[in-house]
Amino acid sequence: MGYVDTLFSLKGKVALVTGGGRGIGQVVALGLAKAGAEVAIISRSGAEETVTLIEKEGGKAYSLKADVTSEKSVDGALAEILKKSGSLHIVFNNAGICIHKDTLEASIAEWREVLETNLTGEYIVARAAGRIMIDKGIKGSIINMASMSGTIVNIPQWQASYNVSKAGVIHLTRSLAIEWAPYGIRVNSLSPGYIATPMSVDTPKELKDAWAPLMPFRRMGTPEELIGAVIYLAADSSGYTSGSDLIVDGAYVCQ
């Protein structure tokens, strides 16, 4: 194994992926496994398909059902990971939802649902993982899923709850990076732009048509184009990178 291969290798690492049943979570889970990690996948409904895909490629993975908005559920899942794998080195804190609604039409219940999943859910998972890493002396890496929506306001759709939740994730990331730096735990966030996933299939055509002229590359990104960023943040190659928000958006926010 060459120098570069070693720098980005995750061999011997245990990685947790939340929301890994489909879309970005599924593709990143496959990427982490190909880089050598044993992958534990958390989702509300299970992620057997992702596990099967990883195993077909010769990787090692398993799936656990858990709700990231429930502290008890997350603690139980992480306890099971420790029982099965004995450690936890990497977290890709990915589970999230989005509701496109005008602020005057969206209900307070919908606001709370988005904030509870995207921000509180990531906080619950990061805190539970951080506690394990600190207790075991693991110099781990936590990668929180943010979005370019935490930096800019998307148009023409209105999604105030989503934008606020992702801005919160970015600052949560910075806060934890400072708090846990003495333990050698790195905390960063990933901010994708528009990514073509199963979720985007349900996006109305008029929205996609409105987005296209605003994208410098004139296309949406693919989940596979996020793998390199995640592996960099997960691996020893980013040993001095913490508190950063890595934007992968085809230069959208530069405009």
Q: What does the longest C-alpha to C-alpha distance in the chain come to?
A: 57
Name the nearest CA neighbour of 147 among 114, 177, 125, 179: 114
Return the amino acid letter for 164: V
Could you identify the residue written with the tokens 């730096």? 181
CB atoms within 10 A of CB 167: 16
Q: Which residues are catalytic?
A: 147, 162, 166
Could you identify the residue written with the tokens 């989940």? 223
Q: Is there a contact between 50 and 29 (Cβ–Cβ < 8 Å)?
A: yes
Pinpoint the alpha helices (H) of the chain.
Answer: 3-7, 23-34, 48-56, 71-85, 108-115, 121-136, 160-180, 198-201, 205-211, 227-234
Q: Is there a contact between 162 and 177 (Cβ–Cβ < 8 Å)?
A: no
Helices 121-136 & 71-85 angle (0-180, nearest 10)? 40
Name the nearest CA neighbour of 43 among 113, 104, 154, 121: 121
Name the nearest CA neighbour of 11 among 29, 40, 34, 42: 34
